[in-house]
Amino acid sequence: MITVEGLTKRYARHVAVNNISFSVEKGQIVGFLGPNGAGKTTTMRILTCFLPPTSGKATVAGFDVLEQAMEVKRRIGYLPETPPVYPEMEVAEYLRFVGKLKGLSGANLDQRVDEVSSRCAVADVKHKLIGKLSKGYRQRVGLAQAIIHNPDVLILDEPTAGLDPKQINETRDLIKGLAGDHTIILSTHILPEVEQTCEQVIIISQGRVVATDSVQNLQSGTRGAETIRVEVSGRDGSIEAGAVRQKLEQVAGVSRVVLRESSPVLAVLEVESLKGKVVRGDIARAVVQAGWNLNELHTAAHTLEEIFLQLTGAPPTLESSVSGEKE
């Protein structure tokens, strides 16, 4: 449905999107994941014919975004980061306006306006001014506007940004409900969102695609090895973290030991096993035999978050794990 080949967007001073390629099958929901400034919005703007690419080729439903822009625009529904609504219009009036822009008319237009406003749960505010609506409602009006002409492809730029948790869930359900009829690309920097809504993930960082895979594959890809979190303290109240680390490194099947936190009385370490090895028991034994207290030991599941951090090059830092514990 969507193919992107060697797409590059260069501005005067920097490259926003650098030679990216991917393709999306019909009916899929694809998560476009990346830190802020990674090039998500730029890519989406190219796909919606808002920006022309510097080089490379992108097609939507078989039409080139540069050569056959009108055809692409007819088949695409787009929700930009801020919903493109006119505050001085009423919801129904706005949806009619967009519907007409997209080429609908007559009874078909009326029917579609009713349909999308009930589908996006904005029917109850149909005759309110958009400027008076809450952020959540405005976002849903934005979504309604994107699907009004029943497009083949939906492009949603951070559809849940700025919503409260309840609204986020509602919006996610709404998007999931739209899959099947529509091919959906949604961008986000919120990982659970991708885990919950998308089948396929494209991770981009600094303008490059660093991974394209299904959510399941990505999660299991690194699962062969396990990461174990160990908290150790000394029996007599003091402990030397370096010694603990050395000891654990000697355990068979351990590939790497990272010191996460240390104080004179406590050491927290992360132990990575070699692929396919189960080392929890050996670690526990090693700690106890060395005469230390084993306060805590658990496997840390590979979340998409870790995969994401690995792939985008941001190392999992001491800070992030500390603050994670405080929470």
By beta-carbon proximity to other proteins, the closer residue of 45 and 140 is: 45
Compute how many other C-beta atoms are within 10 angstroms of the C-beta atom of residue 279.
Answer: 21
Strand order through the sheet with 208-214: 76-79, 153-157, 183-188, 29-33, 200-205, 208-214
CB of 86 to other proteins, least distance (A): 6
Task: Tell me the C-alpha distance between 237 and 260, whole Å.
Answer: 19
Which CB, 131 or 324, lies closer to other proteins? 131
The residues near 226 (Cβ < 8 Å, ≥ 6 apart) are: 272, 273, 278, 279, 299
Q: What are phi and psi of 187, to 5 degrees?
A: -105, 150
If the CB atoms of residues 80 and 316 are measured against other proteins, the closer one turns out to be 80
The 227-234 sheet, strands edge to edge: 254-263, 266-273, 227-234, 292-300
Q: Which two tokens stand for residue 139?
A: 């976002």
CB closer to other proteins, 149 vs 172 = 149
Residue 73 vs 260, nearer CB to other proteins: 73
Closest separation in Å from C-beta 144 to other proteins = 13
Sheet containing 2-10: which strands, arranged edge to edge? 15-24, 2-10, 55-60, 63-64
Strand-pair category, 227-234 with 292-300: antiparallel
List the one residue out of 169, 167, 201 whose CA is nearest residue 185.
201
* Residues at the site binding other proteins, with contacts judged by CB under 8 A: 45, 48-52, 70, 73-74, 76, 78, 80-82, 84-89, 93, 97-98, 100-103, 145
Nearer to other proteins, 46 or 211 (CB): 46
Task: Determine the residue type at 257.
Answer: V
Shortest CB 206 distance to other proteins, Å: 20
The least CB distance from residue 88 to other proteins, in Å, is 5
Closest distance of CB 163 from other proteins, Å: 17
Shortest distance (Å) from residue 279 CB to other proteins: 53
